[in-house]
Amino acid sequence: MRRVIGLLVVAVMLLLVAASPVLAYLYRAPLTIMESTGTSYTAIGVNCSAPVTWLIANGFITTATALDTRVETFGGDEQIHMMASDRIVVFVPSLPGYSQLNWYFTTGNTELPDFPIITGYGGYVTVVDAPALELGSDFSIEFNGWVDTSCNNTLLLKEGAFEICVEDGDIVARILGGSPTTARASGYSSGEYTVTAWADTEYLHIKVNQ
């Protein structure tokens, strides 16, 4: 599998500073995103380490869920972001090569109803290929999540080896290369499922549970 990690090619700097009490937020930090390799990106998620748990415990962030936070441009336009216990994740619509974005991270705002989910580059969550990921002839893979069966799409892919996908409304597991082997689960509308695919030395199987 291939992985594109925004943090390998962009630098993110965050410095917490106190805000003036006349402003709408409680605290504000400059958040700078820089691309230093000359590669342009569109729709990329970028994250930086931040002591979010400590900020909540010490009153810098006013809600336990961190929903009072914002990422904004200098002009006050809010950007898509989400928070974890140890980092801030932002969605960057466009990042040209050798460019820099200067945004703000603020706290003490009106509480958001929730955070959007920011996926990896190009909409995928990926991992670097490694020997430990080789499937062999006897393996099992399981994941849980929302499956959209209304259109053909790839849910999980190990290039040249294995995939789980939606194909003509069915949830399909397929061994790739050589003589492809397929297992198919039919009759599922879009929804949240636990999908399990496993192979023994003779057969490939798939099971879908709601």
Domains of the chain: 6-123 (2.60.40), 133-209 (no CATH)
**Average pLDDT over the chain, rounded to an integer:** 84
CA distances, 196 to each of 60, 130, 202 (Å): 43, 22, 17
Look at residue 37 and give its three-state secondary structure. Answer: coil
Find the range with the poorest average confidence among 36-40, 142-146, 188-192.
142-146
**Is pLDDT of 9 > 70?**
no
Provide the pLDDT confidence category of residue 116 given band limits of 50, 70 and 90: confident
Beta strands 162-167 and 78-79: pairing type?
unpaired
Closest C-alpha among 162, 178, 175, 176 to residue 203 = 175
Residue 180 has what pLDDT?
67
Contact between 88 and 15 under an 8 Å Cβ cutoff? The reply is: no
Q: pLDDT over 70 for what percent of the chain?
A: 85
Give tens-digit pLDDT for 57-105. Answer: 999 999 999 999 999 999 999 999 999 999 999 999 999 999 999 999 9
Provide the pLDDT confidence category of residue 14 given band limits of 50, 70 and 90: low
Of the two residues 186 and 117, the one the predictor is more confident about is 186
Burial, 14: exposed, middle or buried (Cβ in 10 Å; 0-12, 13-18, 19+)?
A: middle
Chain centroid to CA 163: 19
Residue 22 has what pLDDT?
43
How much is the average pLDDT of 171-184?
A: 86
Residue 58 has what pLDDT?
92
Burial, 130: exposed, middle or buried (Cβ in 10 Å; 0-12, 13-18, 19+)?
A: exposed
Give tens-digit pLDDT for 86-97. Answer: 999 999 999 999
**Is pLDDT of 123 > 80?**
no
